[in-house]
């Protein structure tokens, strides 16, 4: 199983903390954040089809991603602290609901409990808008250069923007299509009240993809959750505020 998954790892002692990246990212987006954490074994995984992680044979779906993640966690031999950004947070929530015995705690960064509203027309419009550039012949690099500036906060440095553009540019067109079609199917809205694990929800005050107001309300519905809002930060939290997040997670996991 581990031969099929591309990982980035720091730390040799302490509990396992697993990081799952966002739709336009990769495991490298967590590097600075992971290096800032203390007393943990941090592992960031590239999702199937990203980097050197092999695609899933049956295609992308949230249940399939949870099963894929379960196989990796089994090799570690103990429950893990799951940390997911954006769609990675959705995968982490799906996994927590499906394999609760493998999860010590759950942290969601710029991630919601369901995609969009309850109306399918929103999903259809979202997919049409996001896939139109590919259908028109644009490359992933061109899409990244136009998309990234709108996803970060006003304080994001040029280095942060370039890192995000580089990550997104490396995604294959087919994986981009597949992950977008997977994204719009997510809905664990009705299940979060039954999650017994401790939960940490972190939002960016300038995030328009997963608005702070939405995440604050979501945090209230978990059995035991804490909520943090980072001022001046947009949707790309691991790149925009790695040190702040590592400090929050260190304290959260230590408790």
Burial label for 242, CB within 10 Å (0-12, 13-18, 19+), is: buried
pLDDT band at residue 241 using 50, 70 and 90 as cut-offs: very high
Provide the CATH number for the domain formed by 2-254 in this structure. Answer: 3.40.50.1820
Question: pLDDT by residue (tens digit) across 2-59?
Answer: 679 999 999 999 999 999 999 999 999 999 999 999 999 999 999 999 999 999 999 9
Read off the pTM.
0.97
Rounded CA Rg of the chain: 17
According to the model, what pLDDT value does residue 222 have?
A: 98
Question: pLDDT by residue (tens digit) across 111-162?
Answer: 999 997 777 888 899 999 999 999 999 999 999 999 999 999 999 999 999 9
Q: What is the 3-state secondary structure (H, E, C) of the chain?
A: CHHHCCEEEECCCCCEEEEECCCCCCHHHHHHHHHCCCCCEEEEECCCCCCCCCCCCCCCCHHHHHHHHHHHHHHHCCCEEEEEECHHHHHHHHHHHHCHHHEEEEEEECCCCECCCCCHHHHHHHHHHHHHHHHCCCCHHHHHHHHHHHCCCCCCCHHHHHHHHHHHHCCCHHHHHHHHHHHCCCECCCCHHHCCCEEEEEEECCCCCCCHHHHHHHHHHCCCEEEEEECCCCCCHHHHCHHHHHHHHHHHHHC
According to the model, what pLDDT value does residue 120 have?
A: 81
Segments making up each domain of the chain, as ranges = 2-254
């Amino acid at each position: 199983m581990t031969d099929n998954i591309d990982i980035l790892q720091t730390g040799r002692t302490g509990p396992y903390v697993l990081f799952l990246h966002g739709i336009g990212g990769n495991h490298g987006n967590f590097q600075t954040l992971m290096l800032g954490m203390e007393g943990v074994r941090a592992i960031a995984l590239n999702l199937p089809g990203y980097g050197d992680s092999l695609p899933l044979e049956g295609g992308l779906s949230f249940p399939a991603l949870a099963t894929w993640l379960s196989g990796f966690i089994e090799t570690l031999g103990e429950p893990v602290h799951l940390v997911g950004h954006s769609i990675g947070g959705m995968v982490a929530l799906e996994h927590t609901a499906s394999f609760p015995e493998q999860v010590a705690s759950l942290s969601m960064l710029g991630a919601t409990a369901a995609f969009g509203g309850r109306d399918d027309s929103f999903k259809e419009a979202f997919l049409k808008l996001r896939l139109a550039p590919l259908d028109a012949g644009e490359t992933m690099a061109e899409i990244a250069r136009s998309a990234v500036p709108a996803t970060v906060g006003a304080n994001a440095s040029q280095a942060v923007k370039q890192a995000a553009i580089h990550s997104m540019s490396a995604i294959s067109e087919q994986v981009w299509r597949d992950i977008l079609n997977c994204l719009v199917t997510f809905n664990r809205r009705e299940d979060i009240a039954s999650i017994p694990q401790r939960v940490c929800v972190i939002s960016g005050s300038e995030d328009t993809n997963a608005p702070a107001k939405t995440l604050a309300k979501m945090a209230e519905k978990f059995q035991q959750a804490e909520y943090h809002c980072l001022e001046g930060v947009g949707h790309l939290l691991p790149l925009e505020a790695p040190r702040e997040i590592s400090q929050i997670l260190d304290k959260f996991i230590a408790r």
